Amino acid sequence: MGQAPKELTPTASPLHFFGAQLRELRETAGLSQAELGRVTLNSADLVRKIETAERAASRQFVDRCDEVLCGGGMLRRLWPLLERERELRSTIADQRDHGTLGPSARAEDRLVLDWLLAHNAGDVGPEPPQLDLATHAAERLMRFREVDHLQGAGRTYPEVADVVRRDLQKLSQTAPSVAIGYLELAGYEAVDLGADTQARGHYLRALEITTRTGNRLYGGYLIGVSLAHLALHGGDARHAIRLVNAGLRGVADCATPAVRAAIQVVAARAHARLGDERASAAALHQVDVDLDRSRPAEEPEWIGYFGPADLADEKAHCFFDLGLHDRAQDEAATAIGLLHPSRMRRLAIDSSLHATSLARSGDLDRACAVAHEAIDYTAGTTSFRSAHRVTMMLAELHPHATIPSVREVNDYARTVLADAPVSLADLPG
């Protein structure tokens, strides 16, 4: 008697979801693992390991299986997510094997420490008068941010990165706040394209400029929000907490309430990821207290984005990670209701979270209805992050694939999301 196939948890990671999809397509085609191995020029053992998420598939394997199994692009769409997962696992394994931080993490720690020890406490003084280059760059930066918020990073990252490559040195001298703004946006967009290493590089260059120019408050934001969110995005919640604490300590004498709240909410997310409901609730309470004290006229302009919709989004993620699905669904619905219809990336992410939470709590009819909306929003973006979220939403629905409403969602996703999610490797330059 043959050995029963190993059970998969599609929601555990993109590797598990890919394995489940591959097994389903292979069995539908009536092929054994050995037969699929022969037609793809691989061993049966490799097919088995990929199906059980023990090995990451190569691009060639993914393309060949999609073709042989008539996947209609289903497997190819998962390749960028598999590649990011492979890179994350490689980084974690390297740190475990060597018992130390990698070069990029050591550089991050050094620059954070440099910032903490800098004597120029307080906020930045007046900048030099902006030259024509800086004025033009500042105007373009505003437009880039608008497009990024609307549709995701794929539309603007090549141009943003080109400005950084070509003009950063001059901008850091004549208009350091503009230079920092470009680097922060480039980092945020790199995250949106699944390129965590590039994102960290952009953020650290921005931190160097804030340290040199004395822009203490923005330095704290970069550490406690940008870099901490990046750590959370990479699965290291404990490091995110360390970065939050460093950011808060460094701006203790100059932080405004809204900036403190934006940093504290990352702590709430990290504690929730670790399953610490009490610590997450305490951080969220402090966020609410700070926001009640905040006066827009007294806040820096760059923190103006952090409003009720963003707070509801962050709370929804906290409650989801804690398994408090009624509260997660309420906050996700609040965030979606407050967002402007043009904010497709944020709507895609929050709708995916909402649908995933509904599915996890057993409300499949509502989950499928919201899943349709998430798919539509994602189709309007060029955002790896949105595609990742909607993929994991589909993974949550995968165990119920025989239910007509779920089957219809899967068919709709295959039709509407025919192309693979955009990633940094797809973009020019």
Residue 117 pLDDT greater than 80, yes or no: no
Instruction: Taking residues 401-422, report their average pLDDT.
Output: 88
Instruction: Taking residues 394-423, report their average pLDDT.
Output: 89
pLDDT in the model for residue 49: 93
pLDDT in the model for residue 4: 56
Determine the Cα angle at 147 with ends 143 and 150, to 5°.
Answer: 140
pLDDT in tens, 41-60: 899 999 999 999 888 899 99
Instruction: Taking residues 164-169, report their average pLDDT.
Output: 92
pLDDT in tens, 353-393: 999 999 999 999 999 999 999 999 999 898 999 999 999 99
Take residue 16 and report the two structure tokens written for it.
């598990």
Split at pLDDT 50, 70, 90, the class of 105 is low
pLDDT higher at 292 or 107? 292
Looking at every residue in the chain, the average pLDDT score rounds to 89
CA-CA-CA-CA torsion for 346, 349, 350, 352, nearest 10 degrees? 150
Owner of token pair 């309007």? 380
| 355 CB-side CA count, 13 A | 28
Domains of the chain are 10-84 (1.10.260.40)
| 75 CB-side CA count, 13 A | 27
Cβ atoms of 371 and 348 closer than 8 Å: no
DSSP state letters, 233-278? HTT-HHHHHHHHHHHHHHTTTT--HHHHHHHHHHHHHHHHHTT-HH
pTM here? 0.86
pLDDT in the model for residue 149: 85
Among 392, 369, 366, 380, smallest CA distance to 417 is for 380
Take residue 203 and report the two structure tokens written for it.
């953020």
Instruction: Taking residues 292-312, report their average pLDDT.
Output: 93
CA-CA-CA-CA torsion for 363, 369, 375, 381, nearest 10 degrees? -110
Cβ atoms of 388 and 81 closer than 8 Å: yes
Instruction: Tell me the residue length of the chain.
Output: 429
DSSP state letters, 375-411? HHHHHT---HHHHHHHHHHHHHHGGGTTSHHHHHHHH
Instruction: Taking residues 168-189, report their average pLDDT.
Output: 94
pLDDT in the model for residue 81: 86
pLDDT in the model for residue 82: 86
pLDDT in the model for residue 113: 77
Residue 115 pLDDT greater than 70, yes or no: yes
pLDDT in tens, 216-271: 999 999 999 999 999 999 889 999 999 999 999 999 999 999 999 999 999 999 99
pLDDT in the model for residue 103: 54
Split at pLDDT 50, 70, 90, the class of 426 is low
pLDDT in the model for residue 121: 46
pLDDT in the model for residue 1: 40
